[in-house]
Amino acid sequence: MNMKKMTAMLCLGAIVAIAGQSVFAAEKQAAPKAEAADKAAAKSPESSGDNAAAEAAIAAAESARKKAASVDGEWRDTGKMIKKAQAALKAGDSAKAIKLAKKAEKQGKLGYEQAQAQQTLKMPSYLKY
C-alpha cells in the first residue's frame, strides 16, 4: 500500500468517525472485503459477459453446499440461492449470478463448520447430570 493511498484512507476513516459512524471489531474484516469484491464484480464492465467466472462461482457454491449436506449441516436457502444464480446466469446477468453464488458458497462453508464444531455431542449445562 503506498503512502498516498494510506493517507487517503486515514482521512476517510477520520471523516467517517467524526460523522459518528461506529468503527470496530476485528470480526468485521472478512465480510466487508467480500462485499467490496461483490460490488467490484457488479460494476466491472466485462463482468456481464464473464460467464466462465459465474460458472466457476456456481460450481464452488454447489460443492460447498454438498459438503455441508454431507455432515447434515446444509442451510435452508443455500440450494435456492444456487438455483437463482443459475437462472441469473442463463438470463445473461453473470454479475448477479456471481454475487448469489458467493453468498451460497459462504453459507455452505458456514453450515459445514457449524456441524463440524458439534461433531461430539456436548450436553448443555442447563441439564444437570
Partner 1 sequence: MINMSTRLTSIAAAAAIVLGGTLSISTAVAVDAKVLEEGKTLAFKRKDGNCLACHVIEGGEAAGNIGPPLMMMKIRYPDKAVLRAQIWDSSVRNAETAMPLFGKYGILSESDLDKVVEYIHTL
Partner 2 sequence: MKNLPGKLLLLSVVAAIAATAQAASEQPTPERDKEVFENRFKERFPDVAREEFANGVYAIDPIGRESWEAIEEFPPYELFIDDGKEMWDAPFANGKTYKDCFADGPGIAHKYPHWDKEQGMVMTLPLALNQCRESQGEKPLKYKKGSINNILSYIAMESRGEVTNVVIPEDDPRALDAYEKGKKFYYTRRGQLNFACAACHVQNPGMKIRSDMLSPALGQTTHFPVYRSKWGTIGTLHRRFTGCNKQVRAKPFKAQGEEYRNLEYFLTYMSNGLTLNGPGARK
Which residues are near partner 2 by CB under 8 A?
69, 72-79, 107, 110-111, 114-115, 118, 121, 123-124, 126-129
Q: Contact, 61 vs 104, CB < 8 A?
A: yes
What is the chain's length? 129
| Maximum Cα interatomic distance, the chain, rounded to a whole number of Å | 61
Binding mask 74-93 for partner 1 (x = CB under 8 A): --------------------
Q: Which stretch binds partner 1 (CB under 8 A): 23-31, 41-49, 54-62, 83-91?
A: 23-31
Contacts of residue 36, Cβ cutoff 8 Å, sequence gap at least 6: none
CA 1 to CA 40: how far, in whole Å?
19
Residues that bind partner 1 (CB under 8 A): 1, 6, 9-10, 12-29, 31-32, 35-36, 103, 106-107, 110, 124-126
